[in-house]
Amino acid sequence: MDTPALEWVTRFASHLRDQRRLSLHTLNNYQRDLDHCVRFCDESGINAWNALHAQHVRSYAAQMHRQGLGGKSIQRRLSALRSFCRFLVRHGHLGSNPAQDIRAPATPRRLPHTLDVDRMQTLLDAIADDWLAQRDLAMLELMYSSGLRLAELVNLDVHDIDMLQREARVLGKGRKTRIVPVGEKARTALERWLEERQLHCADDESALFINRTGSRLGPRSVQKRLKLWALKQGLDSRLHPHALRHSCATHLLESSGDLRAVQEMLGHANLGTTQIYTHLDFQHLAQVYDQAHPRARKSGKGS
């Protein structure tokens, strides 16, 4: 594409960073997805964005499908292009959005991986025999107690936790802040961790969870430590931190049935995102039904 067209991509990236204040991870995803579209335009002889039409976008989606890209990934790239074209329309560079009505092929939605209550208890009942283990158990308790995303957990500062009110201030997606409750087990684990933290923390470090050097703990370290604990406790060693968030949501929904409350706690902008947990809840109901209802079981007698 020509230089003015690429400059629009740069302007859009600045808008996402400065106006919408998206995270670096999200910005990188947008940039990567738009880079794919630019390459497609180059291959198709499209030199300017006002030369991009709906039929081109359909061809772009079809090409990705032929290359074996999944529906979710195709939809993400189309969503990035749709947002970019919407930006161009607002600035008068396009008269309409060519990607507006183009959708990716539908793909079955995978249910999130969760731990049942017994396996979750097995994980959280681990014994802490050093300060790093004390930190890990505080992290696991907090993720499960409050349904935190991994990025939300590692970005917490000490002052974000209110022990008296038993709540945490969390910076979620789109830099939206929400207040989540902290359960009694999590509070106890955090109190023990904070006593240890002050012995190992760098003087100017505000992070709630720190690494061996006393600075903020990173997401990859949390993933590795969870796998270690899962293996140690006889659970699936492929366990991902997000499973604790999914388990929190599922167990809350099973007990309360309050979908709106779960949505608010998880920080979902769309209730449809939270509704995935109703499918998990139904699976649990179906399992209980099959085991308990007298008319659900096959008779062992011949007909």
Q: What is the bridge-based pairing of β-strands 177-181 and 161-162?
A: unpaired
Question: What are the CA-CA distances from residue 272 to residues 34, 43, 118, 276 (Å)?
Answer: 26, 37, 28, 7
Find the catalytic residue in 30, 60, 144, 277: 277
173 included as an active-site residue: yes
Find the catalytic residue in 17, 76, 192, 242: 242
Q: Could you report how far apart the first and last alpha carbons of the chain are, in Å?
A: 73
What b/e readout covers 97-135, taking b as 16+ CB neighbours within 10 angstroms?
bbbeebebeeeeeeebebbeeebbeebbeeebeebebbb
293 included as an active-site residue: no
Find the catalytic residue in 82, 135, 149, 246: 149
284 included as an active-site residue: no
Find the catalytic residue in 93, 169, 268, 284: 268
Q: What is the DSSP string of 92-120?
A: TS-SS-TTTT--PPP-PPPPPP---HHHH
Q: Tokens for 169?
A: 């201030």
Smallest CA-to-CA distance from 38 within 89, 92, 77 is with 77
Find the catalytic residue in 187, 225, 245, 251: 245
Residues 6+ apart with CB under 8 A from 154: 207, 209, 216, 217, 218, 219, 222
Integer-rounded Cα radius of gyration of the chain: 24
197 included as an active-site residue: no
Find the catalytic residue in 76, 173, 178, 227: 173
Q: Which residues are catalytic?
A: 149, 173, 242, 245, 268, 277
